[in-house]
Structure 1
Amino acid sequence: MSNLSAIFKDHKAFIPFVVADDPDFDTTVKNVVALAKNGADIVELGIPFSDPVADGPVIQSADLRAFKADVHTETVFDIVAAVRKETDVPLVFLTYLNIVFKYGYDAFLKRCDELNVSGLVIPDLPYENRGEIVPIADKYGIDIIPLITPTSGHRIKMIAEAATGFIYVVSSMGITGERNEFFNGLKDLVTEIKKYTDVPTAIGFGVHTPQQAQQMASIADGVIIGSAIVDIVAKKKQAAPAAIETYTKQIREAVDQSPAKV
């Protein structure tokens, strides 16, 4: 069992997401710390990218704000280093493959290990290409977290059997962004995944209310919330940490009201 998988052992996990360097370095650090201190089990930190194919307009706009703040990959590592002075909350990066490739797989994953970053979510990494990065990630004890979608079909078995850390279950077809309707076969999808693995599942894409978080945590082992938090940052800017604190407490309470086991 990886360090990430162990987090899900005794309770349902809440995994919030923020974009690095949105709106600036110091606020990002404060946002992550606010999440960590108010109930986040794992924090997903997005590395800004010019063509984030899985992300909707809210996160795309955050990427643009980060670029305006002159973000670079090294900036993101510096943010993590600053976070590590205040919290040891488990971190995973949401990134795209070209960022890691350009930095150098070994160099990138070594830096993650040094900063205690536990995993990578790479939406544009097909299962068939995992072999170019997974052996290096294994060397540093870092999980490459797969995504399974409502359209994964016959690929579910091979993706699930190779999974480590946790499995990111995509709630709906399409891109990230708050929504009020989700794929109505989510429970069956999670049941199918669990035929092939004991690795925990966490549902993301579109979840934004406490009620939705409780519903998704009752289906899976955890819930991921991104755009709703990124939208708080967009609206509150440097005042975001206080608003994030309030929101995180609400989601934590809702997730904790879900049954402990799936």
Structure 2
Amino acid sequence: MVFEIETPWLVTFITAGDPHPKLTLDFMLALEKYSDVIELGIPFSDPVADGPTIQKANYRALKAGTKVSDVFSIVRQFREHSDKPVVLMTYYNPVYAKGVDEFVKLAADAGVSGMIVVDLPLEESGEYLAACEKHGIDTVFLAAPNTPDERLRAIDEASSAFVYLISLYGTTGAREKIPPLAFDLLKRAKRICTKPVCVGFGVSKREHVEELVKAGADGVVVGSALVKIIEEYGENAAERLEEITRELKRGCKG
């Protein structure tokens, strides 16, 4: 397990290749200064778990010609500068198209620490889990507010890095408030799970981070709020990404 870092974690997400592959490394280095883990999305044509902000980021990245091989190359470049954990977020189609074992091997060779395959059901993940164990890649599975206790235990067992708690019903996207459902799920997960639990979907402000950490979260995942900065600032987003990440990290420290 490569995630032997002190909690609570700030996990920051951006889409690789948005708005161009040549810019992603600079954005990752800006995030790295205050993030504990960087989650890097592989752009996909049908990102069904994501809201409008990240959907548009996927479109921009694909329009710029970003390929899976580019994402691996970006991680390799990042490894020349930092040993912070990098988690790839992908849908199953690119993994299947490349071949599960080959995809995971390429990720490991590039320096990827862990993976989230958003739409891969736990019941059908045997080949993927075996490949991750073989190549030393940590795994992350998601749990929703309506996930039963028994399934939450199975998700915890399959997740070697952390359990990703979805704070709400619906897609990703910044929200004004963290819903009560998130705190109910967090309380239940802390009782059941043996792995760290991180809360995402809708987390966008320092106040959100403080509330969730105070409630027992081992980490928070912030994505749409950062992707929105890239949408607004384009190639000049790095400085603003660093600023907001610093503020979010202060929330982790209370």
Question: How far 1:97 moved relative to its partner?
Answer: 0.6
Question: How far 1:159 moved relative to its partner?
Answer: 1.7
2:91/2:119 contact within 8 Å kept: yes
2:177/2:208 contact within 8 Å kept: no
Tell me the secondary structure at the aligned position of residue 107 of structure 1.
helix
What residue number does 1:223 align with? 220
Question: How far 1:170 moved relative to its partner?
Answer: 0.4
What residue number does 2:240 align with? 243
User: When the two structures are superposed, what TM-score results if normalisation uses the length of structure 1?
Assistant: 0.92
Larger deviation, residues 200-209 vs 81-90: 81-90
Question: How far 1:116 moved relative to its partner?
Answer: 1.9
1:160/1:167 contact within 8 Å kept: yes
Tell me the secondary structure at the aligned position of residue 214 of structure 1.
helix
1:161/1:196 contact within 8 Å kept: no
Q: 1:135-163, CA deviations, whole angstroms, 9 ceiling, x for partnerless residues?
A: 11101111220101102124222222332
**Aligned partners of 2:177, 2:253: CA distance in 1, in Å?**
22
Partner amino acid, structure 2, of 1:144: T
2:167/2:181 contact within 8 Å kept: no
Q: How does 1:246-257 map to 2 (within 5 A)?
A: 246-257=243-254
Q: How does 1:151-162 map to 2 (within 5 A)?
A: 151-154=146-149, 155-162=151-158
**Aligned partners of 1:116, 1:215: CA distance in 2, in Å?**
33
Tell me the secondary structure at the aligned position of residue 133 of structure 1.
helix
Q: 1:164-212, CA deviations, whole angstroms, 9 ceiling, x for partnerless residues?
A: 1001000111000011233313333223223333200000001111111
Tell me the secondary structure at the aligned position of residue 195 of structure 1.
helix
Tell me the secondary structure at the aligned position of residue 207 of structure 1.
coil
**Aligned partners of 2:158, 2:63: CA distance in 1, in Å?**
38
Q: How does 1:181-196 map to 2 (within 5 A)?
A: 181-196=177-192
**Aligned partners of 2:169, 2:156: CA distance in 1, in Å?**
19
**Aligned partners of 1:211, 1:191: CA distance in 2, in Å?**
19
**Aligned partners of 2:246, 2:231: CA distance in 1, in Å?**
20
Q: Mind listing any 5+ residue stretches in structure 1 that lack a counterpart? A: 258-262
**Aligned partners of 1:216, 1:197: CA distance in 2, in Å?**
16
What residue number does 1:150 align with? 145
What residue number does 2:125 align with? 130
Partner amino acid, structure 2, of 1:128: E
What residue number does 1:35 align with? 31
The correspondence for 1:200, drawn from 196, 205, 228, is 196
1:42/1:92 contact within 8 Å kept: yes
Partner amino acid, structure 1, of 2:228: D
Tell me the secondary structure at the aligned position of residue 175 of structure 2.
coil
1:202/1:221 contact within 8 Å kept: yes
Q: 1:113-137, CA deviations, whole angstroms, 9 ceiling, x for partnerless residues?
A: 1122111111101111111210111
1:150/1:183 contact within 8 Å kept: no
Question: How far 1:36 moved relative to its partner?
Answer: 0.6
1:45/1:94 contact within 8 Å kept: yes
The correspondence for 1:80, drawn from 75, 78, 91, is 75
1:178/1:228 contact within 8 Å kept: yes
Tell me the secondary structure at the aligned position of residue 173 of structure 1.
coil
Partner amino acid, structure 1, of 2:81: E
- Work out the percentage of aligned pairs sharing the same amino acid: 37
**Aligned partners of 1:162, 1:100: CA distance in 2, in Å?**
18
User: When the two structures are superposed, what TM-score results if normalisation uses the length of structure 2?
Assistant: 0.95
Question: How far 1:81 moved relative to its partner?
Answer: 1.6
Question: How far 1:82 moved relative to its partner?
Answer: 1.7
Partner amino acid, structure 1, of 2:105: K
Instruction: State the aligned residue count.
Output: 252
Partner amino acid, structure 2, of 1:215: E
RMSD, aligned α-carbons: 1.3
Tell me the secondary structure at the aligned position of residue 125 of structure 2.
helix
1:177/1:206 contact within 8 Å kept: yes
